[in-house]
Structure 1
Amino acid sequence: MTAALSRAVLRGATVAALLVVGALSGCVPQPKTAKEIQQVEDSDRADRAAVEHEIQRLYDEATVLVADTWPTVPDKSWQTGCGDYADGTPSETWSIFNQYFGPTKSSPEETAERVAKMWTDYGFPTKVVEDNRIYPPRKVVSYPPYLTGVREDGFGIVFTIGENYADFDGNSRCAPIDPDDPVLPKNW
């Protein structure tokens, strides 16, 4: 009788464990479909003018710390790669890139520290890192952290500075495309 009772208790415990595991596995988030992976969260929907202004401000304030004017005009444009919103609306990111060659107002270390503090004060916590794998070696300020990509909403900024060199590369949060953009095939 003891063996039968032990088996019954063991069988009951096994069934209870299976029920618990089954219930918990129903709570586990299921993998995203290919379409969901390509979607931008609706909560990340941003205003085009606001995201463009934000990246422009970060560019202007970082680059003026290097030199009063940069001799080259920055590459600025809307770029694809953000994905679509759940309703099918495509989105894009405002990008700015520019390089500076020449003497800088302050040392690379001092300039990088000032950029890092400014970005941290704006809510983009960052610190200066050194990259000796590139030539010339540079101080790097990046949000998200250097070499980790961009945030889920597409935002990412990188500032590098070395001896007689600096660059800025920024991508805004994703924003819905401009439906009246003349480069869209439907507007040709």
Structure 2
Amino acid sequence: MSRQRRRAVVRIVALTALVATATLTGCAPQPKTAKEIQQVEDDDKADRAAVQHEIQRLYDEAAALVADTWPKPDTMEWGTACGGYADGTQSESWNIANQYKGPTKFSPEETAERVAKMLTDYGFPTKVIEDNKIYPPRKVVSYPPYLTGVREDGFAIVFTIGENYSDFSGYSRCAPIDPDDPVLPKNW
């Protein structure tokens, strides 16, 4: 094949690829505006009681794997860091944070593996990693993966365990704010 003919074939293939890409891109969903990115879709509204129950269950089961004597959680409250829905309704997340200091039922490694399995069994696939940059060094079980933030719907779990120490932080999926909440200015 002559050099000129090869160039023609290459141009035709490149042009065909360009047209195919342009056609497919035209069918793809277009990027959201900045306002739409900050909003949670209306059809993603979660039930407040269900998301609170989910985080409470995960906390209770993780704590039970560590020891039977956890103190009352440091934090158990609704947090408003979720943003708003497209219809203007504000949303919030149920948060639990607590730490335990003392002997554990199993070794830190075994406890972390058990917590990872429990979360995975509930549909939050995770694995144990080691963080030697925190003191004392700890095994970490996190969903989404450690130090990557929260899911788009606000959900996140971070569990750490070391020698005679463990902590749990959980954030539920975002749910519509309680319209009767006394902290809202309209209810003052």
Q: Same fold (TM over 0.5)?
A: yes
Q: What is the match of residue 106 of structure 1?
A: 106
Separation in 2, partners of 1:97, 1:57: 13
- When normalised by structure 2's length, the TM-score is 0.86
Q: Deviations over 1:43-68 (max 9, x none)?
A: 32110000000000000010111110
Q: What is the match of residue 40 of structure 1?
A: 40
Residues 72 and 99 in structure 1, CA contact (< 8 A), matched pair in contact too: no
Q: What is the match of residue 9 of structure 1?
A: none
Code of the aligned partner of 1:155: F
Q: What is the match of residue 144 of structure 2?
A: 144
RMSD: 2.2
Residues 73 and 96 in structure 2, CA contact (< 8 A), matched pair in contact too: no
Separation in 2, partners of 1:126, 1:152: 17
Code of the aligned partner of 2:84: D
Where 2:154 maps in the other structure, the secondary structure is: coil
Shift of 1:42: 2.4
Shift of 1:27: 2.5
Q: What is the match of residue 6 of structure 1?
A: none
Shift of 1:146: 1.1
List aligned pairs for 1:89-128, cutoff 5 A.
89-128=89-128
Give unmatched runs, 5+ long, in structure 2.
1-12
List aligned pairs for 1:17-166, cutoff 5 A.
23-166=23-166
CA gap 1:22/1:52 in 2 versus in 1, 3 angstroms: same
Residues 38 and 84 in structure 1, CA contact (< 8 A), matched pair in contact too: yes
Residues 96 and 170 in structure 1, CA contact (< 8 A), matched pair in contact too: yes
- When normalised by structure 1's length, the TM-score is 0.86
Where 1:82 maps in the other structure, the secondary structure is: strand
Separation in 2, partners of 1:19, 1:127: 43
- Bigger Rg over Cα: 1
Separation in 2, partners of 1:163, 1:101: 9
Shift of 1:81: 1.6
Q: Deviations over 1:127-162 (max 9, x none)?
A: 111111111110001111111111111111111000
